Amino acid sequence: MEKNTFTPMLWGIVYTIAIVLAGSLIIALLLEWTTFSESQVPLIMYVINGIALLFGGFIAGRRSSTRGWLSGALSGLGYGLLMLLIGFLAFDMPLQAPAVAFLAIAALLSAFGGMLGINTAR
């Protein structure tokens, strides 16, 4: 019985959000209790997002029975669209070229994670 693509995609998004939230909490604690500079936060958050997208794609691919790259890419697109929606609604951020580039990078990173995940599935 073949699994659908939707459920693995949702699990990928959930894991991605969880990793980003955990990373954000760690960064906030570092800012509060150490001499960690705020100027370093954007770069570190890009790295955390990249790792989270790779891992979310990995989970989506692992939970998928076929086409791990597709499950991973859809997971990354779902996460990216959710972040763009939050940015638009909460911060009135317009849709511009960097946002579209973020979507493309999110899909590519998650697709790569999905390729790794499908090859480690039982």
pLDDT per position as a tens digit, 59-86: 999 998 888 899 999 999 999 999 999 9
Tokens 């994670």, residue located: 113
* Distance of alpha carbon 118 from alpha carbon 81, whole angstroms: 23
pLDDT at 28: 95
pLDDT of residue 1: 38
- Indicate whether 13 belongs to any domain: yes
CA atoms within 13 A on the CB side of 61: 27
- Determine, yes or no, domain membership for 48: yes
Residue 1 lies in a domain: no
pLDDT digits 0-9 by tens, 16-27: 999 999 999 999
Question: Which residue range is the domain that position 47 belongs to?
Answer: 6-118
Q: What mean pLDDT value characterizes the chain?
A: 91
* pTM, full prediction: 0.90
Number of domains in the chain: 1
What is the distance, to the nearest Å, from the Cα of residue 75 to the centroid of all Cα atoms in its chain? 7
* 23 inside domain: yes
Structure tokens at 17: 């959000």
In-domain check, residue 41: yes
